[in-house]
Every structure is written in C-alpha cells, then in structure tokens.
C-alpha cells in the first residue's frame, strides 16, 4: 500500500507467510493436541515452527511459549513471574503499556530515561537490590525507536539484583536486531508476529529453563502448562516463516531501510522549519542515529497538533501515527515523550513515520511531498487552545 | 459543502449526520474525547464513541476521534470545581460549548478544510435579511437547546449548521428508525458527563476541594439549621437545608462560602426586581430595551428591560436586567440568556 508508513503499528504480511498459513485454515485444520494422524501432522507443524523461533531467538525449543502476541507475552512475563516469586518489579519508564501497566499494577518502580530516550543506568542501578524479582527493559522503544543498552542492563541487574529475572519486550526489536547477540543474558523475551510480516494474534514468550512463572491462562495444559489453550496453528506456522525471512534478509533490510529513513528524516528537517527529531544525539557531523532502529522516523512539529496533522496526511494518502491510541481511537499524550522530558507543547505535535519490509522510495517521496504543506497549512490556522 | 458533524453517539447527532448526507453534503463525523474519567451519563464514554463510529459506518461516512481531554479538564472541569469552591452554581455544558465545541473543534475543522461544523442541538440558525445569523429556538419547545448556545457569535454562526432544530424529538427518533440507525432508541443524556449517577456532585467535588459543613441562618442571623456541604448549596434551593420541618418553607437566599453560612428566607423573599449579568457576549451588536430573559435550560422566559453597564468598557460587558414583574433570584454562576422573540441575541453569567 503506497504511503503506508506505520510499520511499527503493524506490518503487511509477507506473501510467503500468507501462503504458509492457508493450508492450516482449510484441509490441515486438526487440533495439534489430538491423538490421531491429522492431529499429529498439525503438531509437527507447530513443533517445526518452535524450532525456528527457538533458533532465531537464541533459546531451546522447549523454552518457546506460543502466545496470542506481544501483550500476552509481556503480561505473562511480568505478572507470571511476580505471581510465582513475589518481591518487587522494575521496568523502564518508556515501556509499552503491556509491560508498564503490569508493573504498575504490582506496585513496581519505573526507571527514568534520558532525553534521548535511553534508560538511565545509574537511576536503574539505584532501584536494584536483593528484593527485586524481575527487571523488564524493552529492546527497542515503539514510539521513538531507541535501542536500549540491554547488555549493560543485564550486567547491572546480575550484579545488583541477584534474584531478579530479566525480561525484554523485543516486539519492536526482532525486525532490526540480531536478538540472540543482545539477549543472551535475558531470561524472558517477548515477540509478536505481526510486527515482522506475520499475522496478528500470535507471538512468543521465550522462557529460559529454570525461570519459573505462574501461568495466566490455565486449562488444557498446552505449552507445558505455561499457556493453556488450543494452538493458533496457522498463525504459529506463518509466524515462523515470516521470522525466518526477516532474519535471513535482516542485514540487507537494515541497510536498505536505514537509507530510506535517513532520506525521509533529512528531507523533513530541510523542509519543515523548527522540526525536532527525537531519539538522536546531536553531533558536529549532524544527528547521530546509531541508537535508533532503521525503521523509525519520529519527529515533533512545533505549533501543530498530531491529530490534525495525521488527518491531513491521510487526505494525502500518507498513513502514519503519533503516540499510542486508546480504545476509542483518540490519541493519548505520550508517556514516552513525557519521560524523555519533551515539553507537552512540543509532544502535542509528535509524528511517527515507520518503515518496514514493504517500504519503498515511492513511500518516502510521497511523505516528503505531503508532510511539509500539511504542516504549513496547520501553522496558518492557529487552533483555538480551548479559550 | 464539506461538513464536520460532531457525533456524540446519541440519536440527535446521528440524525444530523444522516440529514446532511441526504442533502448532498460531503460529511465526516467526529467524536470528541473530552472526559477520561468515570462516566455514565455523558457524551464521551468509550461506548458512546463506539455508537458514533457504528452509525458513521452505517451511513458510509468517515469517523474521526479528537482527544480534547486536556482542554476539557482545564476549561470545563477546573472551572466547574473552582466555581463550586466559591459557592457559585456553574453550568459546565455551556463552558464546554464555549471552549470545546465552538472554539477548539470549529477552528480545527477550518484548519482541516471543512466549510461547516454541525451538531445535533435542538436549535436553529436563522439568517436575517442583512445576512447576519442568530440562534433561534428549536421547533420542539420541550427539547429546545438554544439556551446553551448563547455564546455563539457571527464568526461561529457563519460556519454552523443545526440540522435537527427543525424537527421535533419524535420526528428525530422516527427518522433514526426509518434509517435503521442503531441509536434510534437510545435514551437522551441528561446530566453532566463527568458526574456519575452513583457518586453525584458530592463525590466528584469531594475528591477535588474540601467540602465543609455550614450554618443555616435566617435574615436576623439566628441559626435555624445546618448543611453538610456549604459548597453544594444553590440559591433558591429548598430541600436539604436542615431546617426543621413544619411551618413556612424556607429557601436559600444567599450562600457565603468563606463564612460557611447559608441565609434562608420565605418564598417571597427570593423575588427581586433586578439582576446583574457579567461576561456578556452578543451574537452581533449589543441590544438594549425590552427583551425576554431566560435563566435556566428549560426555565420560563420573562420580560425585562436590558441596559448596558459601562458600555464603553473593553472586553465582555455587564448588563443590568430590570424585570417587568418581580422574578425569582437567580443563583450566581447560572447563565442568563437574552431573547428577541425566539432569537438569542446574547447572554452572560448571573452575579
């Protein structure tokens, strides 16, 4: 879809993944928990998918728990560990709500981030002690795209909080990062298929052997009792296909999408006066984007309201987002930008253009054609501030 | 014309959108998310957004959601709380119209390229021979909402359409039923959207300001009773004043919040001959002379003579209302609206 710049919300499915799931929606429909041959065939399909996900996440097959997606994986990690082990839980202040709200519901603490959107290691260290049972820091922030220093987090936690399990919400990370290289020290890793060309409604929580957690969903005892419920066979099979393609093409894709993203953000910075790029460190040679994933261009447009801007972009066939949406579809103020210390007046004009495997030069051209005049128009019409 | 219809999820705005579509306009619906907290009566719960969206889907029009909850908190909720703290009787729906629907939404609509904004209010926009516009009472007298639109001025009226003002409520429901709209049988919202039926004003205000007990005294200063929360007493109120039963009914004549005292008197003592109105706005030019004056949403309009106080002053002016026949005291903070026949010419806030 030309103009689709919202890959961080969801990606179009890779055609190979669509192809792979179709038989499991028709003739290969059996329940993998059954005892007959069709059931065993379905079982084999998910076991093979399990092997793929284990390899790509750097876990053993028995450590892969299939879930319904990122939110379930995050909830299971945080709440499941706390239910089993008690103690106190800590996460970064810029986690997705699936982690953040779970941590807050257990009276947990939030580690601040710096103005670039990276977790503040000193402040995190000050929250760690022998009572902490779980520390959760995301691999990549979903709004501004910053890559968190997971190796340093892990070293800190092992030193200061010896009892703590380490969880990372890697939902936005799998596309862009070689996770096993960064999460070797982590006990729990969440991913979601629809962020990397798979279908919605399926994901993984990888659980290192020995990391005990209480199930959130009980019943038939699937997934070694860690997550009951009939398997989403078609989704699981398609996820593995999408994951394999993503991993195989990752190096090339990161390079290709980085070029697209840099052209997009540089073009916007040149065309829109006052534009502020988030998640970067300013250096003498221009902004340093080395701590951001390739797919995310996140900016704040002073003097403009995100909701209005998104509407004008949509009219120009550019589909983007701002902060997270609530269930009504209204935009909510971003807790991520607030935690980074971005003033509310600036955060009101946030815009996230996110690219992925389906993005092309034509998408970037269209955005560069549509965004600057939209901003110009909104700046001409000053919106009432409710006075 | 490109029309943005404010859709609350109720039947009136649903039908407004349908009528505009039938008239050939290019229609887009929008639901404003105003109040993020607990709600059961209002126009901004997630369930109401769902209803608005589903009606828009049924009509085949786009539906947007704008989050104005920060401005709502600042301009409507805080103002409401502050007014109660001072012992006034505020009307938050009017402040919402003033600051959100007809300022914030209207200016955003213009920025997004819409020619007109429509709402489901039961009132009409009338064009005078010289092109000026006025809010006029809706056809259905019992449902007329012109009172809550008094703050609209020419720059707003030129861009406003009120499609259901020409219909009775029964006709609106019949139209919704004819079109098969899911909101056809939905009950009208009655109360302030951020006050829940279970907690009421007391619970809402109690979380935000101290509510203090007060003395109830007669005009001689003699204590005749006590009230639990002096901030919640309204001038003209009879019930809940802790005045011993029997005898002549007593009414609140005035509320002194700093002194935590409510002064009560008999019914006839509520009658006054004059009323001062502040922060007056006019639909175009100020009007003096004999007009009809209405002091609550469904109150009876009464004849009075209007004179401007200090007409040369900058900013919103003040007006003195002299009733033709003595009229009941108006609670300070209430909106006072001036009508020329069925047309709204202006209004302000009772002092």
Contact A385 B111 (CB under 8 A): no
Q: A372 vs chain B: nearest CA distance in angstroms?
A: 15
Report, as an integer, the average pLDDT of A293-314: 96
Residue A208 has a CB neighbour count (10 Å cut-off) of 18
B73/A contact by beta carbon, under 8 A: no
Residues in B 253-292 with any Cβ partner in A closer than 8 A: none
The tokens for B218 are: 């007669």
Phi, psi angle pair for A350, to nearest 5°: -75, 150
pLDDT for position A100: 97
A308, B29 contact by CB (below 8 A): no
Report which DSSP code applies to A69. S
Contact A308 B108 (CB under 8 A): yes
Contact B66 A326 (CB under 8 A): no
Chain B residues whose beta carbon lies within 8 Å of the beta carbon of residue A385: 71, 104
pLDDT for position B197: 80
Chain A residues whose beta carbon lies within 8 Å of the beta carbon of residue B108: 305, 307-308, 383-384
Chain B residues whose beta carbon lies within 8 Å of the beta carbon of residue A382: 107
Cα atoms found within 13 Å of the Cα of residue A45, Cβ hemisphere only: 26
A216, A196 contact by CB (below 8 A): no
Give the whole-angstrom CA distance, residue A201 versus residue A219. Answer: 19
**pLDDT(B43) > 70:** no
Long-range contacts of B38-41 (CB under 8 A, 24+ apart): B38/B194, B38/B196, B38/B199, B39/B193, B39/B194, B39/B196, B40/B196, B40/B197, B40/B198, B41/B189, B41/B190, B41/B191, B41/B192, B41/B193, B41/B195, B41/B196, B41/B197
Chain A residues whose beta carbon lies within 8 Å of the beta carbon of residue B113: 312, 315
Chain A residues whose beta carbon lies within 8 Å of the beta carbon of residue B33: 326, 328, 330
- Walk across the sheet containing B62-67 and list its strands: B62-67, B26-33, B2-6, B116-118, B160-161
Give the whole-angstrom CA distance, residue B322 versus residue B273. Answer: 6
Give the whole-angstrom CA distance, residue B220 versus residue A92. Answer: 64
The tokens for B221 are: 């200063």
Q: Three-class SS of residue A76?
A: helix
pLDDT tens per residue, range B3-38: 999 999 999 999 999 999 999 999 999 999 888 766
> Among candidates A148, A150, A174, which has minimal Cα distance to A339?
A148
Residues of A with CB under 8 A from a CB of B: 305, 307-308, 311-312, 315, 326-333, 377-378, 380-387
The tokens for A237 are: 């099979």
B32, B100 contact by CB (below 8 A): yes
pLDDT tens per residue, range B140-160: 999 999 999 999 999 999 999
Q: Name which of B106-110, B184-188, B300-304 the model is least confident about.
A: B184-188
Nearest chain B residue to A331 by CA: give it.
Answer: B67
Give the whole-angstrom CA distance, residue A115 versus residue A95. Answer: 15
Give the whole-angstrom CA distance, residue B5 versus residue A28. Answer: 49
Report which DSSP code applies to A96. -
Report, as an integer, the average pLDDT of A252-256: 98
Q: A310 vs chain B: nearest CA distance in angstroms?
A: 10
pLDDT for position A327: 59
Report which DSSP code applies to B146. G
pLDDT tens per residue, range A8-44: 999 999 999 999 999 999 999 999 999 999 999 999 9
Q: How far is CA A216 from CA A81, A82, B259, in A?
A: 10, 11, 56
Residues in B 93-112 with any Cβ partner in A closer than 8 A: 99-100, 103-104, 106-108, 110-112
Nearest chain B residue to A344 by CA: give it.
Answer: B70
Contact B103 A378 (CB under 8 A): no
Top pLDDT among B315 and A73 is at A73
**pLDDT(B296) > 60:** yes
**pLDDT(A326) > 70:** no
Task: Kindly calculate the radius of gyration of chain B based on its CA atoms and give it in whole angstroms.
Answer: 21
A387 — pLDDT class (breaks 50, 70, 90): very low
Give the whole-angstrom CA distance, residue B86 versus residue B227. Answer: 16
B192 — pLDDT class (breaks 50, 70, 90): confident
pLDDT tens per residue, range B241-295: 877 666 788 899 999 999 999 999 999 999 999 999 999 999 999 999 999 999 9
B295, B350 contact by CB (below 8 A): yes
Catalytic residues of B: 96, 193
Give the whole-angstrom CA distance, residue B73 versus residue A331. Answer: 16
β-strand pairing of B251-256 with B26-33: unpaired
> Among candidates A238, A239, A257, A261, which has minimal Cα distance to A249?
A257
Give residue A100's Cα distance to chain centre: 13
B117, B108 contact by CB (below 8 A): no
pLDDT tens per residue, range A102-123: 999 999 999 999 999 999 999 9
pLDDT for position A386: 46
**Interface test mutation site (partner A, options B66, B112, B114, B316, max chain A beta carbons within 10 A):** B112
Top pLDDT among A193 and B298 is at A193
Contact B68 A384 (CB under 8 A): no
> Among candidates B13, B104, B100, B108, which has minimal Cα distance to B52?
B13
pLDDT for position A361: 98
Contact A330 B99 (CB under 8 A): no
Cα atoms found within 13 Å of the Cα of residue A162, Cβ hemisphere only: 1
- Say how many CB pairs under 8 Å bridge A and B: 66
> Among candidates B10, B31, B45, B54, which has minimal Cα distance to A307?
B31
Beta strands in chain B (DSSP E): 2-6, 26-33, 62-67, 116-118, 123-127, 133-137, 160-161, 214-217, 223-227, 251-256, 261-265, 271-282, 289-294, 302-309, 317-328, 335-340, 343-350
pLDDT for position B66: 93
Report which DSSP code applies to A294. T
pLDDT tens per residue, range B197-250: 888 888 999 999 999 999 999 989 899 999 999 999 999 998 888 776 667 888
Which residues on adjacent β-strands are paired with residue B321? B275, B306
What rounded mean pLDDT belongs to chain B?
92
**pLDDT(A332) > 90:** no
B49/A contact by beta carbon, under 8 A: yes
pLDDT tens per residue, range A255-291: 999 999 999 999 999 999 999 999 999 888 889 999 9
Task: Enumerate residues 6+ apart whose C-beta is below 8 A from B274.
Answer: B320, B321, B322, B323
Nearest chain A residue to B104 by CA: give it.
Answer: A384
Give the whole-angstrom CA distance, residue A97 versus residue A79. Answer: 13
pLDDT for position A300: 96
B52/A contact by beta carbon, under 8 A: no
Phi-psi region of A74 (alpha: psi -120 to 50; beta: other; left: phi over 0): alpha
Q: A347 vs chain B: nearest CA distance in angstroms?
A: 13
Cα atoms found within 13 Å of the Cα of residue B11, Cβ hemisphere only: 23
**pLDDT(A64) > 90:** yes
**pLDDT(B332) > 70:** yes
Top pLDDT among B9 and A328 is at B9
Packing angle between helix A306-315 and helix A361-380, nearest 10 degrees? 130
Chain B residues whose beta carbon lies within 8 Å of the beta carbon of residue A334: none
Phi, psi angle pair for A49, to nearest 5°: -65, -35
**Interface test mutation site (partner A, options B44, B79, B111, B152, max chain A beta carbons within 10 A):** B111
The tokens for A78 are: 């945080």
């Amino acid at each position: 879809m030309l103009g689709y710049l919202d890959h961080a919300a969801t990606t179009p499915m890779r055609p190979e993944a669509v192809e792979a799931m179709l038989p499991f929606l028709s003739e290969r429909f059996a329940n993998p928990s059954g005892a007959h041959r069709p059931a065993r065939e379905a079982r084999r399909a998910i076991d093979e998918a399990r092997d793929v996900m284990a390899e790509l996440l750097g876990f053993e097959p028995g450590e892969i728990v299939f879930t319904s997606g990122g939110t379930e994986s995050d909830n299971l990690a945080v709440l499941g560990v706390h239910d089993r082990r008690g103690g106190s839980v800590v996460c970064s202040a810029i986690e997705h709500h699936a982690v953040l709200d779970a941590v807050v519901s257990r009276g947990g603490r939030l580690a601040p981030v710096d103005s670039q959107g990276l977790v503040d290691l000193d402040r995190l260290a000050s929250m760690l002690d022998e009572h902490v049972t779980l520390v959760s820091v995301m691999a990549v922030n979903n709004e501004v795209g910053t890559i968190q220093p997971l190796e340093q987090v892990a070293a800190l936690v092992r030193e200061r909080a010896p009892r703590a399990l380490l969880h990372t919400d890697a939902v936005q990370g799998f596309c862009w990062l070689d996770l096993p290289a960064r999460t070797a020290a982590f006990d729990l890793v969440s991913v979601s298929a629809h962020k990397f060309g798979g279908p919605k409604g399926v994901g993984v929580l990888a659980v290192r052997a020995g990391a005990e957690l209480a199930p959130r969903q009980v019943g038939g005892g699937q997934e070694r009792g860690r997550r009951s419920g009939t398997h989403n066979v078609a989704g699981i099979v398609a996820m593995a296909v999408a994951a394999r393609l993503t991993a195989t093409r990752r190096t090339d894709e990161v390079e290709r999408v980085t070029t697209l993203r840099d052209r997009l953000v540089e073009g916007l910075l040149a065309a829109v006066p006052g534009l502020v790029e988030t998640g970067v460190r300013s250096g003498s040679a221009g902004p340093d984007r080395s701590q951001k994933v390739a797919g995310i261009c996140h900016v704040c447009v002073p003097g403009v309201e995100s909701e209005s801007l998104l509407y004008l972009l949509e009219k120009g066939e550019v589909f983007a987002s701002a902060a997270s949406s609530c269930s009504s579809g209204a935009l909510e103020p971003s807790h991520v930008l607030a935690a980074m210390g971005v003033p509310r007046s600036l955060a009101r004009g946030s815009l996230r253009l996110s690219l992925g495997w389906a993005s092309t030069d034509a998408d970037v051209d269209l955005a560069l054609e549509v965004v600057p005049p939209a901003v110009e128009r909104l700046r001409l019409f000053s919106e009432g501030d409710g006075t | 014309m490109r029309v943005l219809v404010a859709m609350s999820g109720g039947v009136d705005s649903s039908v407004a959108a349908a009528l505009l579509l039938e008239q050939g306009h290019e229609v887009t619906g929008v639901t404003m998310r105003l109040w993020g907290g607990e709600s059961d009566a209002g126009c901004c719960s997630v369930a109401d957004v769902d209803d608005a969206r589903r009606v828009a889907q049924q009509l085949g029009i786009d539906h947007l959601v704008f989050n104005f909850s920060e401005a709502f908190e600042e301009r409507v909720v805080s103002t409401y709380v502050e007014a109660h703290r001072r012992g006034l009787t505020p009307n938050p729906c009017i402040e919402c119209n003033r600051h959100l629907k007809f300022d914030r939404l209207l200016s955003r609509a213009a920025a997004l390229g819409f020619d007109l904004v429509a709402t489901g209010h039961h009132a009409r926009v009338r064009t005078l021979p010289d092109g000026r516009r006025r809010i006029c009472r809706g056809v259905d007298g019992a449902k007329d909402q012109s009172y809550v639109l008094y703050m609209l001025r020419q720059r707003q009226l030129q861009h406003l359409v009120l499609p259901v003002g020409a219909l009775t409520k029964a006709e609106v429901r019949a139209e919704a039923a004819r079109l098969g709209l899911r909101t056809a049988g939905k009950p009208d919202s009655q109360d302030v959207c951020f006050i829940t039926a279970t907690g009421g004003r007391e619970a809402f205000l109690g979380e935000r300001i101290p509510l203090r007990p007060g003395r109830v005294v007669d005009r001689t200063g003699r204590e005749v009773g006590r009230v639990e929360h002096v901030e919640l007493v309204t001038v003209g109120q009879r019930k809940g004043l802790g005045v011993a039963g029997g005898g002549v009914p007593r009414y609140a004549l005035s509320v002194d919040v700093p002194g935590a005292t409510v002064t009560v008197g008999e019914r006839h003592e509520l009658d006054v001959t004059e009323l001062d109105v502040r922060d007056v706005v006019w639909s175009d030019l100020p009007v003096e002379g004999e007009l009809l004056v209405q002091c609550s949403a469904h109150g009876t309009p009464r004849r009075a003579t209007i004179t401007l106080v200090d007409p040369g002053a900058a900013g919103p002016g003040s007006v003195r209302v002299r009733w033709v026949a003595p009229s009941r005291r108006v609670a300070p903070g209430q909106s006072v609206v001036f009508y020329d026949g069925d047309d709204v010419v202006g209004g302000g806030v009772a002092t």
